[in-house]
Structure 1
């Protein structure tokens, strides 16, 4: 696993005890259903991983930035504050 993915996964998995792979997380952060199901791993990625590391992960995993932005916007509404990727 690349260092970017390892850093992201330790931030996302450790606090919540969620066992998710980097590939699974990449899929979830681009899926609007993640907000509908209040996916804690996606919210942790969007709220606890630094914006620079978020972008590196998105690039490394080949995820659509537009799709992640849509998910971040939906989570921002749920959270009541703007998340960095919701811009």
Structure 2
């Protein structure tokens, strides 16, 4: 799947079945459902999930928790616009 197909899939009511858990979380974020995304990534242990987890907390305005998860991801606190960070994360996992 490429970025165009991923973005087009946001018109559906459920993420495409072949998406990784990371992309499913980003799909739910793209649909405005951060609680669904949070539920998916909070049980994963990898740095990619930690980066998405940080993004979710930043989106919620919880900078302290976001900072913790950026650290777990090995990343500095993101200062880019939220949408730009989401797009970069989508690109990372596609």
Q: Which protein is bigger by CA-based radius of gyration?
A: 2
Normalising by structure 1, report the TM-score. Answer: 0.34
Normalising by structure 2, report the TM-score. Answer: 0.32
Structure richer in helix, relative to its length:
1
User: Which structure is higher in RCO with an 8 Å CA cutoff and minimum separation 6?
Assistant: 1
